Amino acid sequence: MSNFRKHSDTNEIEREYSKFTKIEHRKKFAQFFTPFPVADLMAKWLIGNKELNTVLDPAFGLGVFSRALLNHNNNLKINGFEIDENIYEKAKINFNNNQNVSINLSDFMFNDWDNKYDGIICNPPYINFHDYDNKNILNEIEKRISFKLNGLTNLYTLFLVKSIFQLNENGRAAFIIPSEFLNSDFGKLIKSYLIKSKTLRHIAVINFEENIFDDALTTSAIILCANDNKSCKVQFSNVRNHNDLSNIEKAIESYPDYLSNGRTVEFDNLNPELKWRAYYQEQNAVKYKNLVPFVNYGKVLRGIATGSNEFFTFNMSKANKSGIAKKYLLPCICKSIDSKNSFFTNVDFDKLQANDKTVYLLNAVNPDIFVKKYIACGEEQEINKKYLTANRNPWYSIENRPPSPIWVSVFNRTGLRFVRNEANISNLTTFHCIYLNMFSAPKTDLFFAYLLTDVSKQIFNDNRREYGKGLQKFEPNDINKSKMLNLELLSSDSESEILEYFNLYRKSVIDKKPDESFVNKINDIFIKYYT
């Protein structure tokens, strides 16, 4: 019995491959395998096309989608593409007895443009823009489709765009891809293309609390498309566990009718500029009144990016060993773990320095002989040829980013974490920088008191990006484009009360006995005023 027949409804083939293939190889080719129940669900969407005869799998892998499809209809003609010779050879063996399955060892993005298919099904490689030949691929797409995309576009969405272009009339496509494009800047153009094509039918977002890929730190979305004229709207669903997959199956069976328990949006009402989380998750901001744009108060920028932290950062031992004088060292928080509390003071910095922590950044302005020697060592290691350093003049200069009064965490699992930078030192990209404008700066303590509250974090959460196992990320523009309470509406008495609780909270933190009850009282004041 062939592997295909023996394991036609399981992931045993993928498990065996993963067991005997180095993780480095799998990461290189972005190989994260689709659970069979998900593959079968996606296959059923294609099977719903009564004219289904030809099927394309642009990232074939070990053929989990082909196994699922052939379980439903063993007469389908399936064409697959794969670029990893190792997995290609194994897939050929698995399907060597099936003449209807053809696998090509070539790059889908540069091949097969002239063919159309009744069904396209795919789990494309999850590769960021800087890890593939994005310039040539984007040129190919623009030439073929006459649609210009952003250079920061991730590869998996390009697979989706090309596949929609290759759908036959009445053809259907099913993709499982990271949902980040729904809520990111680079995804705006992809969403515009999906709206323009009028093929998008259903987006089922896998809840971030359940990682359906054991080793892929990402939230996924099942994207269902159809090149027909049977619908003018899109349904959005949430999948919190495997049982929720049955609701998606019901939606597939009922198409072109939509289930009443899902959110549907007309094509004309879909806004590509908007984070599409608004269509499938409850928004916290609607609970509050008198909201204003965050940028009314200031702006968020990322921290200093060095291009090589190992080269540019120092502790005192490294500085003494290299002969680097202190005037060439910029005090800097380099790791988020070194600032655990809501307030970072001069005392905190002194303790880190005394414990020989990495808290300095090379600032080689008018370098002396020792700094020049260190720079020469960096050139021997080709630090000057890295992505960021190669675009700086001189390569060892650092970004002109003044210390910000407030830091905000990049990644988190429990909501945004804000830190008052009382030591007035710089920070690397482990934190973003919040700079207040000239009107807000005099009220930095009031502003920071607001940031500490659950109210502020709830509103910011509408703009979060989600990854696996509850991990959240905020890019600077995610916060810049957020809303916040209009603090100008507070009475002077309420403002004084907030600052009183704020100072009590600060003292409790400095005394190493943080009392969150003071923050809760500040939170209650905002709830009273703004709900």
Residues 171-184 pLDDT 10s: 999 999 988 888 88
So what's the pLDDT on residue 20?
A: 84
Which uninterrupted H or E stretch holds 346? helix 346-354
So what's the pLDDT on residue 405?
A: 97
> Does 476 sit behind a cis peptide bond, omega within 30 degrees of 0 on the bond before it?
no
Distance, CA of 223 to CA of 204 (rounded, Å): 7
List, as own/partner pairs, every contact residues 72-80 make where C-beta atoms lie below 8 angstroms and the sequence separation is at least 24, other chains included: 72/43, 72/44, 72/47, 73/47, 74/100, 75/100, 76/52, 76/100, 76/119, 77/53, 77/102, 78/54, 78/102, 79/54, 79/55, 79/104, 79/112, 79/115, 79/117, 80/56, 80/104
Among candidate residues 195, 173, 176, 175, the one with its CA nearest the CA of residue 116: 173
Report residues of the chain scoring pLDDT below 50.
1-2, 208, 215, 217
CB 125 within 8 A of CB 30: yes
So what's the pLDDT on residue 217?
A: 45
Q: Find the largest Cα–Cα distance for the chain.
A: 81
DSSP β-ladder status, 329-333 and 233-239: unpaired
Instruction: Give me the residues paired with residue 174 across strands.
Output: 121, 224
Structure tokens at 188: 């705006």
So what's the pLDDT on residue 172?
A: 98
Q: What is the 3-state secondary structure (H, E, C) of 136-176?
A: HHHHHHHHHHCCCCCCCCCHHHHHHHHHHHCEEEEEEEEEE
With 0-12 / 13-18 / 19 or more C-beta atoms within 10 angstroms meaning exposed / middle / buried, residue 75 is: exposed
List, as own/partner pairs, every contact residues 507-515 make where C-beta atoms lie below 8 angstroms and the sequence separation is at least 24, other chains included: 509/341, 509/342, 509/343, 510/343, 510/345, 514/341, 514/342
So what's the pLDDT on residue 104?
A: 96
Distance, CA of 377 to CA of 500 (rounded, Å): 53
So what's the pLDDT on residue 1?
A: 42
CB 342 within 8 A of CB 419: yes
Residue 301 dihedral angles phi and psi, to the nearest 5°: -125, 155
CA 515 from centroid of its chain's CA atoms: 34
So what's the pLDDT on residue 338?
A: 94
So what's the pLDDT on residue 470?
A: 63
Structure tokens at 502: 């704020």
DSSP β-ladder status, 343-344 and 426-427: unpaired
Among candidate residues 440, 441, 421, 422, the one with its CA nearest the CA of residue 431: 421
Among candidate residues 280, 273, 260, the one with its CA nearest the CA of residue 206: 280
With 0-12 / 13-18 / 19 or more C-beta atoms within 10 angstroms meaning exposed / middle / buried, residue 107 is: middle
Among candidate residues 452, 405, 399, 451, the one with its CA nearest the CA of residue 428: 399
Distance, CA of 18 to CA of 124 (rounded, Å): 17
pTM: 0.70
- Residue 71: what residue type? N
Q: 335-362: b or e for each residue (b if 16 or more CB lie within 10 Å)?
A: bbebbeebbbbeebbeebeeeebbbbbb
Domains detected in the chain: 3-281 (3.40.50.150), 295-530 (no CATH)
User: What is the side-by-side strand order in the sheet with 426-427?
Assistant: 313-314, 360-362, 329-333, 426-427
Contacts of 405 (CB under 8 A, 6+ apart): 420, 421, 424, 434, 435, 436, 441, 444, 448
So what's the pLDDT on residue 316?
A: 96
Q: Which residue spans within 399-492 are E strands per DSSP?
A: 406-409, 411-412, 418-421, 426-427, 431-436, 465-466, 472-473, 483-485
Q: Could you report the per-residue pLDDT of 403-412, keeping only the tens digit for each?
A: 999 999 988 7
DSSP summary character for residue 385: G
Distance, CA of 222 to CA of 44 (rounded, Å): 13
With 0-12 / 13-18 / 19 or more C-beta atoms within 10 angstroms meaning exposed / middle / buried, residue 125 is: buried
